[in-house]
A and B are shown apart, each in its own frame.
Chain A
Amino acid sequence: AQTVTQSQPEMSVQEAETVTLSCTYDTSENNYYLFWYKQPPSRQMILVIRQEAYKQQNATENRFSVNFQKAAKSFSLKISDSQLGDTAMYFCAFMKSSSDRGSTLGRLYFGRGTQLTVWP
């Protein structure tokens, strides 16, 4: 079974500063995908960034970047120049990449989330 662990239930950062959210996962798979989703107070789940495990280069999306350490099974999210609108719950998620047509194909496994508050 795949498990995703987010060890920081809450974090806060001042506007314009940088913050890093941690995520670790446990899997025996070699090929997989990792995601960070954002859930603001509106409760809409929004995809922030994704990483393919076979790519060594860390993914970046504007102010959002990841530090993917495959051997350590670590996938942290860095938010630069934090903005008030970044206040949200952030979820780390894992998905297998397999040609196996078994029941777990396409299933996303989520961590428990980190509540990030950006203050002025």
Chain B
Amino acid sequence: DAGVIQSPRHEVTEMGQEVTLRCKPISGHNSLFWYRQTMMRGLELLIYFNNNVPIDDSGMPEDRFSAKMPNASFSTLKIQPSEPRDSAVYFCASSFTPNGQRYGYTFGSGTRLTVV
């Protein structure tokens, strides 16, 4: 099992550009989560999918952020246009619900986004 795969590992972009982060969850997992980590705010849940359907997107900062899960094996988080305050590490995690309640999530290695 390759685990949760995120790409790219690092991304540096200029303010105003579109950024797309990608995630491949563990095969068989039916829940997928996008988290953002910053020094100021810690780990924040951005959006949560269950069976490819967005369940809770209340953490998405604003309309510049959007997330999709077209199938069980792929999800994207897009920021358009990007701003310097979006600089953070973005994590994708997956689990099999309801077992995920017992065993927690498996996280990807994260994407470090820097917007200059």
Question: Given known contacts A43-B110, A45-B91, A45-B93, is B48 in contact with A107 (CB within 8 Å)?
Answer: yes
The minimal Cβ–Cβ distance linking B4 to chain A, given in whole angstroms, is: 10
The reply on B97 being an interface residue by CB < 8 A is: yes
Q: Which residues of B pack against A, CB within 8 Å? A: 31, 33, 42-43, 45, 48, 50, 55-56, 58, 89, 91, 93, 95, 97-98, 100-107, 109-110, 112
Do most interface residues of chain B lie in helix, strand or loop, or is the interface mixed?
strand
Number of interface residues of A (CB under 8 A): 26
Q: Which of A43, A45, A96 has the most CB of B within 10 A?
A: A45
Question: Given known contacts A43-B110, A44-B109, is B100 in contact with A106 (CB within 8 Å)?
Answer: yes
- Nearest residue, chain B, Cβ from A97: B101
The minimal Cβ–Cβ distance linking A120 to chain B, given in whole angstroms, is: 27
The minimal Cβ–Cβ distance linking A108 to chain B, given in whole angstroms, is: 6
- Do the beta carbons of B103 and A106 come within 8 Å of each other? no
- Do the beta carbons of B43 and A106 come within 8 Å of each other? no
Question: Given known contacts A45-B93, A103-B55, A104-B56, is B103 in contact with A110 (CB within 8 Å)?
Answer: no
- Do the beta carbons of A45 and B55 come within 8 Å of each other? no
Pick the residue among B55, B95, B100, B104 that contacts A93 (CB under 8 A).
Answer: B104
